Structure 1
Amino acid sequence: MDNSRLVLQIDNSRLAADDFRVKFESEYSIRQSVESDIIGLRKVIDDTNMGRMNLESEIESLKEELIFIKQNHNQIAQSGVQVDVDAPKGQDLAQVLAEVRAQYESMAQKNRDELKAWHENKLTEVEVEVIQNTEALQGARTEVTELRRQMQSLEIELESQRSMKASLEDSLRDTEMRNNMEMERYNNMILQLEAELGQLRGNIQMQASEYEALLNIKMKLEAEIATYRRLLDGEDFRLQDALVDQSSTKSIKKVTVTQTLVDGKVVSESTNTKEIGK
């Protein structure tokens, strides 16, 4: 019963160890997948940072171009160059220049507004993407930390199961050794008891033979006593018949029992009965 319980515990420990091994491999695979996702997110963040740097560089270039355009405009406005314009009669040159300046400033303002809106839109998109990537990275880090903690817990539990398995195997070996010793002792006892049983059987057969011989003697004596009683009672029979009856009862049976013992065991037995007359 103890052996069965130990074997069952060992089997349960093996199954638990296999289960923990499968869980460990699964968690390890998940961890590798998360680490791969983290590497991909880091690349996305790097690409985002690079794109932001490119956008900032483009913005700075556009700002410099806008400053250059403003400077050229101011230089043109402040220059004293006389320009001959074939204009219709009565048209003021200053008015024409003012209209050109106003149109140019309107276009420049439109470009500035569009550039500012585009820059703000791109900056917002980059900020949203950075926030999303940061949250995803933080979630991945948290998940990796939790998986690492679970993996350490599983490794500790697996080591505990291995130690318990080794202990149970040692106990099983000790129990098997004790059982083998007990079985050997019981086998020796069985051999000894079988030898004693064979001897007892021989003694019983001998006693049975002696009992049968005594029984025959008793029957002979009872027959003789009965004969003498008939003589004493005066029964009418011939002496010769009495002598014949008496002689017929005088017989002894000789019973010979032969046994063959091998390692204390009776392997063969024979009985020989012989009637001997007296």
Structure 2
Amino acid sequence: MEGQIKKMQDELAEIRRKYEDAIKGREQDRARIDSLLVQLSNIEAEINLLKRRIGQLEDEVKRIKQENQRMLSELQRARTDLDQETLNRIDYQNQVQTLLEEIDFLRRVHDNEIKELQTLASRDTTPENREFFKNELSSAIRDIREEYDQVNNVHRNDMESWYRLKVQEIQTQSARQSMEQGYAKEEVKRLRTQLADLRGKLADLESRNSLLEKQIQELNYQLEDDQRSYEAALNDRDSQIRKMREECQALMVELQMLLDTKQTLDAEIAIYRKMLEGEENRAGLKQLVEQVVKTHAISQETDTETMRVVKGETASRQSFQRSAKGNVSIHEASPDGKYIVLQNTHRAKDEAIGEWKLKRRIDGKREIVYTVPRDFVLRAGKTLKIFARNQGVASPPDQLVYDAEDSFGSGNNVQTILFNKEGEERATHIQRQSTA
């Protein structure tokens, strides 16, 4: 038995080493995931920066387009003003031409009048009359000519001054519009060059952004694959750890049984030694027998604050073992899967078991999960009986019904495990049916 115990201790040390290796591998995977998350966050930050820069460039392009549109509208307005001034110039030229024609017409009228007066003067044959009319006619012609010259000079000066003023205004406006058009052309050319540069930069940024998005997508796929592989590895390690724990618990149970058997055998050997030494006092022999009986009848349940292991055997060739960490334990699990009983073994402390999960595995294939209602409290020293559907009546806080399943399941190897909200294993109940 000591050799078996040493062998079991070596196996337990090997299992602990494997468990520590699994924990180290898990920490390494977590560190790698953290580094990948940091890299992903850096890439996302760079993408956000590029998007912000692209937005600023788009705003700049929009502003340049608005400025270009404003310049085009001003150019169109200048063209409209130039056309209007051209029309005004043509109108004024027409007015000048009309006035010149009117002056020509007045000149012809005056010439006709002079000819008529000369004709009238030629009819008078008297030298005195002829001289008189000639002098009068000359003075009248001179007055008319002076008046005509004066009016003509006034009109001519007015028309020349008005024409020079208008020509100067048109030339000034034309020069100003030409300068504005030159400035507008230079500005449009500069804006077009800047717009072409911005478009080139935008195309480069878009290509870089698409490349970064592809890299991010590839990193996401890689991260998903790593997470899936990591989760699969974690599940495998959890299953291995759970299996190791079950094996450790089985070994602890077997070790406890061996220790109990060893203690019983030691007590029997001591009795036999006393009997062989010639103990004849019946009272002393009776006391030794009672001591052996008490030693053999020691409770097979060992309670501590952190771990309790209980083992037993039913009359129908079904063995079970249960363990608990803390005050809440799986007191009973029906072999036919009708109900499961939880118990709070503490005499004064209530236990909040809301959202705790009760998992039941049947022959390592099927798994049934029941979640305790939220904010449920298991009173001190009380039990909670959870029925399958149609197997009992709900009567909180002592009885609940699991409506999702007609049975918690039955089989040759049934494991019932209680987990808290953090996923920590708090109690187990293992049922095995012998094949004999």
Structure 1-normalised TM-score? Answer: 0.74
1:149 maps to which residue? 193
Alignment-derived partner of residue 10 in structure 1: 47
d(CA) in 2 for partners of 1:81 and 1:21? Answer: 89
Name structure 1 gaps, 5 residues minimum.
273-278
CA distance in structure 2 between the aligned counterparts of 1:97 and 1:150, rounded to whole angstroms: 76
232 and 134 in structure 1: CA distance in 2 versus 1, 3 angstrom threshold? same
Q: Secondary structure at the match of 1:262?
A: coil
The change in CA–CA distance for 1:23 and 1:103 in structure 2 (over 3 A counts) is same
Corresponding residue number in structure 1 for 2:225? 181
Q: Which residue of 2 aligns with 1:206?
A: 250
Are the aligned partners of 1:17 and 1:158 in contact in 2 as well (CA < 8 Å)?
Answer: yes
Residue 109 of structure 1, CA deviation: 1.9
Once the two structures are superposed, residues 72-114 of structure 1 have per-residue CA deviations (whole angstroms, 9 ceiling, x without a partner) of 878988999355499xx99943444433333332222222222
CA distance in 2, matches of 1:142, 1:47: 25
Match of 1:129 among 173, 178, 181: 173
Unaligned runs of at least 5 residues, structure 2: 1-37, 301-310, 313-318, 322-360, 368-413, 417-427, 432-436
Corresponding residue to 1:262 among 342, 348, 364: 364
The answer for the alignment partner of 2:16 in structure 1 is none
What's the offset of the Cα at 1:176? 1.0
Give CA-to-partner distance per residue, 1:240-266, whole Å, 9 cap, x none.
426624752684877555585636999
Equivalent position of 1:275 in the other structure: none
User: Could you tell me how far 1:204 is from its partner in structure 2?
Assistant: 1.2
1:1-278 to structure 2, matched below 5 A, reads 1-59=38-96, 62=99, 81=118, 83-84=120-121, 92-93=135-136, 94-223=138-267, 237-238=281-282, 240-241=285-286, 244-245=289-290, 248=293, 251=296, 256-257=319-320, 262=364, 267-268=415-416, 269-270=428-429
Alignment RMSD? 4.2
TM-score (norm. length: structure 2): 0.50
| Structure with more of its chain in strand, by fraction | 2
Instruction: Give the distance between the partners of 1:178 and 1:90, measured in 2 at CA.
Output: 126
Partners of 2:363 and 2:40 in 1: CA distance: 37
- Structure 1 vs Structure 2: percent identity of aligned residues? 19
1:196 CA drift (Å): 1.6
Larger of the two Rg values belongs to structure? 1
> Does the CA-based 8 Å contact 1:220-1:249 persist in structure 2?
no
Q: In structure 2, how many angstroms separate the alpha carbons of the residues matched to 1:263 and 1:186?
A: 23
Paired residues of 1:10 and 1:168 also in contact (CA < 8 A): yes
- Please tell me the residue identity of whatever aligns with 2:166: K
CA contact (8 A) 1:257 1:270 kept: yes
CA positional deviation for 1:167 = 1.0
Deviations 1:125-165 (A, max 9, x none): 22222222223322322332233233223322222221122
